[in-house]
A = this chain, B = another copy of it.
């Protein structure tokens, strides 16, 4: 039960950038999105992946790797549609 809640929480926080990615692609603008937010989030998520590797915790690695992928996508789109 507790673990299931953790997994759902992880999936939700990891995929939260997905609607932002879709919105930028649709509207072709993103100037209001903070680049500093994306950079700090990227550093945090990268550290979570490192933490997951050290703890040999696969769910942490996988959800944060997905989050990092979405984060990099958002940064590229943000720089394209500034």
Contact = CB atoms under 8 A, between A and B. Distances in A.
B34 A23 contact: yes
B16 A23 contact: no
B16 A40 contact: yes
B44 A12 contact: yes
A16 B44 CA distance: 8
Given A23-B34, A24-B32, A8 B54 contact: no
Given A5-B51, A47-B9, A50-B5, A15 B32 contact: no
Name which of A12, A14, A30 has the most chain B CB atoms within 10 A of its CB: A12
A38 B44 CA distance: 18
Contacts of A6: 48, 51
